[in-house]
Amino acid sequence: MTSAVTIPRHGGTGEGTAVAARARQVVKAYGSGETRVVALDSVDVDIARGRFTAIMGPSGSGKSTLMHCLAGLDTVTSGQIFLDETEITGLKDKKLTRLRRDRIGFIFQAFNLLPTLNALENITLPTDIAGRKPDAEWLRRVVDTVGLGERLKHRPSQLSGGQQQRVAVARALAARPEIIFGDEPTGNLDSRAGAEVLGFLRASVDELGQTIVMVTHDPVAASYADRVLYLADGRIVDEMERPTADAVLDRMKDFDARGRTS
């Protein structure tokens, strides 16, 4: 993954080979001098378009920081981040906001929905904010896929945790972003609801050609991805294509053991 410097441009989604986002020599450090803590240490990474990428690593490995930086939520200390051909490092807040609104979707671990808006209003919020009409055809397809048809008028407080996260996924999809970032989207769910949401994310990659990046520490969740990146101490230390839960678990144990002995 340290290869590929020239990237062909592609319009739209669904091209399996192109790169949706990339990071080049990204450093993120907190504090200075004695108290300086490096969360990301010269990370290079390419996120493939139309694929489902999982980022794994132990607590404090920098996996969430990497995602936040890729998504334009956090600033980097040095290095560059590109979304498609747009360099987002150094963008002003106004442009970053528009970029997040128009080109990126988010799913957080919890508190994804505005309590004052019903499910449908939450789903169309990003397009509403942008002052655009949602694409009715696409919206119906998304809502159908998520399977929330009857609950669209419900307020978040009337939905279960799994349903809330599905609404969050639908919201992320509805605006047709180039890339969706999930920050442990199933972290607060039981295994059944978690499987529901993950299955749905998988389906949106397979059927809708969506690009998804997900941070997780759950091997089962990671097994839904096409590719898993392992972070440790702010560096990418390994990756795995077409992971299975067992293989991911084994690899994690491996890291743990290495970490303990070294």
The CA–CA distances, whole Å, from 102 to 123, 198, 238, 256, 257 equal: 14, 24, 32, 39, 43
Report the Cα–Cα distance between both ends of the chain, in Å, rounded. Answer: 25
Short-list 61, 64, 87, CA closest to 181? 64
CB contact at 8 A, 106 and 181: yes
Short-list 70, 56, 22, 13, CA closest to 206? 13
Single out the residue of 2, 35, 59, 116 in contact with another protein (rule: CB under 8 A): 116
**Residue 112 interacts with another protein (CB under 8 A)?**
yes
**Residue 203 interacts with another protein (CB under 8 A)?**
no
Single out the residue of 1, 4, 37, 130 in contact with another protein (rule: CB under 8 A): 130
Residue 174, number of CB atoms within 10 A of its CB: 24
CB contact at 8 A, 85 and 9: yes
| Sign of torsion over alpha carbons 131, 136, 137, 142 | positive
Select 134 or 243, whichever has its Cβ closest to another protein.
134
Q: In angstroms, what is the minimal distance from the CB of 101 to another protein?
A: 2
**Residue 117 interacts with another protein (CB under 8 A)?**
yes
Q: Map residues 4-43 to x or -, x wherever contact with another protein holds by CB under 8 A.
A: ----------------------------------------
Single out the residue of 17, 25, 97, 244 in contact with another protein (rule: CB under 8 A): 97
Which range, of 5-13, 47-55, 67-75, 197-205, touches another protein by CB under 8 A?
67-75
Single out the residue of 7, 27, 73, 208 in contact with another protein (rule: CB under 8 A): 73
**Residue 131 interacts with another protein (CB under 8 A)?**
yes
Q: What letter represents residue 113's amino acid?
A: L
Full DSSP string of 116-160:
TS-HHHHHHHHHHHHT----HHHHHHHHHHHT-GGGTT--GGGS-
Q: What letter represents residue 145's amino acid?
A: T
Which two tokens mark 26?
Answer: 């990204």
Select 10 or 101, whichever has its Cβ closest to another protein.
101
What is the rounded CA–CA span in Å between residue 87 and residue 110?
29
Select 94 or 260, whichever has its Cβ closest to another protein.
94
Q: In angstroms, what is the minimal distance from the CB of 68 to another protein?
A: 6
Q: In angstroms, what is the minimal distance from the CB of 259 to another protein?
A: 26
**Residue 106 interacts with another protein (CB under 8 A)?**
yes
**Residue 59 interacts with another protein (CB under 8 A)?**
no
Select 13 or 122, whichever has its Cβ closest to another protein.
122
Residues that bind another protein (CB under 8 A): 68, 73-74, 93-94, 97-98, 100-102, 105-106, 108, 111-117, 121, 125-126, 128-131, 171
